[in-house]
Every structure is written in C-alpha cells, then in structure tokens.
Amino acid sequence: MLSDRPVTAPVIALRAIEKWYGTRDEPVHALSATDLDVGAGELLVLLGPSGCGKTTLLRMIGGLIEPTAGSLSIVGRSLWEKGGRQSEALADLGMVFQDANLFPWLTIEDNIALPLELKGMGVADRRAKARELMKLVGIAGFEKRWPRELSGGMRQRAAIARALSYNPKILLMDEPFGALDAMTRDAMNMELQRLFLATEKSIVLVTHSIAEAVFLADRIVLLSPRPGKIDRIVTVPFARPRTLELQATAAFQDIVLSLRERLAEIS
C-alpha cells in the first residue's frame, strides 16, 4: 500500500546544493553536492548520524545559511538573490526549533502574534489570528499565560502556532520534540500528524529518532557523514492517519530495523 498523499510538483527543489564551513583549521565539507525535491503536501524527514549535515541542510532550505554552491528554489522562486540576500520566497517558510524560543516577557498569544505584528497587522486582528491558531494546535485557553507557565509540549505547540501565523506553505522543523519526554513526544507526533492532515502544509523535519521518522514521514532521507550526503531515500508505505499502535506492527518494525542497521554501517 502506498502513501495516500501523492507527491506532486516540488515546493522545494535543491540542485547540487553544497556547503563548506570555513574554520580556523581545515574547511569542513558539511554537505556534498545534493539534489532533492520535496513535494507539495509531503512530510519529508531528514535522518542520520550526528554531524551528517541534517541541520545544515534544513537551515539552508530555511534561508539561515547560504549554500557554498548550487541552487535552491522554494515554490518555484529562487531563495537566494545575488549579493547573498534572501528573496521573497522566504515568506513561504516557517521554522520550528528544538527550543521553543518564546519571548518570556510576552504572553503566549502575543508570542504567536509577533510575526504578524512585525508585518504591521493591527492588535485586534493579530490576536484573533493567534487565538484561532491556539485552537488549531490544542492550547486554547492559555492566551494570557506566560511561557514559563506552560509545559515543554505546550511551549512547542505555541512555537508551531507562531510558525504557522503568516500561513507559510512549508514548515521546517529541527528536532522539534527532541527535548520532550517519551510520552509527550508520542502525543506531539500524533498532534503533528493531525495538523499536517488539517493544514496540507509541506513539512521537512529533522530527527534523531528512527521510530519518529518512520511514524511521521512520507519519505525518509538518510544522510551519511564526512562529508554529508544522501545515502538513500526510503518511502514509508503506511496510510494516514497513522495510530501509535502501528509502531508495534511487524511492517513498521521491519523498516525501523533496516534503518537502524544502515545507520550503524554509515556512522
């Protein structure tokens, strides 16, 4: 059975994208020339051993790091302009990191509304939008709370709501649940799947967890290190919505096991 979300025109297209970091010693070849497409409405997971370039790749897609070579387009528009400036394609991207990075002096709703404030939206409209998003991510009722008053999982929900505030087509997530306990992480995986199905975003997510990758992904891009490059791309065949019970099935465990074996070989 193939995934029920067909991959259509790419919303992210990488062509021969490469990254070298200059350091005091030798330059580091973080990613060798890489081609990759992410389809509209696809959930793509980047998986691989420490140092294989997952974060580098995600940050290049997000316009936070400029590639050393290659081209990168977002919904058909080149992300980088001449002179090292990002183009308007940046508006199609929302980012979520391992740490929620909420401002402690702003209420939850004002944290979520901040990108809209920066775009010049009035206070009533942006708070209404924040409330709508809080309902979507399951934290309605906490509008006037401070970030410190929320659990780690709730703070990550707020960070996701903030990333969705200006309605980007693509969500980029760097180990968004890496700091959460196992039960909260399971709950957040279910929540992310619900959001993914409800909003029809494309998502690129970095994780260290093989089970999380197999549970969430339409396709898993396995990267190998020194220098970082794509080792293989694994299509995950399970229909959505997926339940946590799926993880106990032989079919799920088979994919986890083959990825674990390959990870051990390339680490």
Ligand X SMILES: Nc1ncnc2c1ncn2[C@@H]1O[C@H](COP(=O)(O)OP(=O)(O)OP(=O)(O)O)[C@@H](O)[C@H]1O
Of 71, 56, 64, the C-alpha closest to 10 is 71
Q: What is the smallest separation between the CB atom of 223 and ligand X, expressed in angstroms?
A: 7
Rounded least distance, CB 233 to ligand X, Å: 16
CB of 7 or CB of 28, closer to ligand X: 28
- Pairing status of strand 80-81 against strand 85-86: antiparallel
Which stretches of the chain bind ligand X, using CB under 6 A?
A: 21, 23, 28, 30, 48, 50-56, 228
Phi-psi region of 230 (alpha: psi -120 to 50; beta: other; left: phi over 0): beta
If the CB atoms of residues 32 and 199 are measured against ligand X, the closer one turns out to be 32
The residue type at 110: D
Q: Measured from the CB of residue 34, what is the shortest distance to ligand X in angstroms?
A: 12
Torsion on CA atoms 38, 53, 57, 7, rounded to nearest 10? 0
Relative to beta strand 93-96, strand 219-224 is unpaired
Count the residues in the chain.
267
CB nearer to ligand X: pick between 55 and 202: 55
CA distances from 255 to 83, 111, 223, 241 (A): 44, 39, 16, 18
Quote the least distance from Cβ 205 to ligand X, whole Å: 12
**CB of 226: closest distance to ligand X in angstroms?**
7
Give the nearer residue to ligand X in terms of CB position, either 65 or 121: 65
Q: Of the two residues 16 and 239, which places its CB atom closer to ligand X in the complex? A: 16
Per-residue tokens: 80: 């980088």
Q: How far is the CB of 225 from ligand X (least distance, A)?
A: 7
**Planar angle of CA 201, 202, 207, nearest 5 degrees:** 120
| Distance, CA of 60 to CA of 66 (rounded, Å) | 6
112 with 189: CB under 8 angstroms? no
Residue 179 is classified by DSSP as T
Residue with Cβ nearer ligand X (107 or 224)? 224
Q: Which is nearer to ligand X, 50 or 248 (CB)?
A: 50
User: What's the min distance (Å) between Cβ of 99 and ligand X?
Assistant: 13
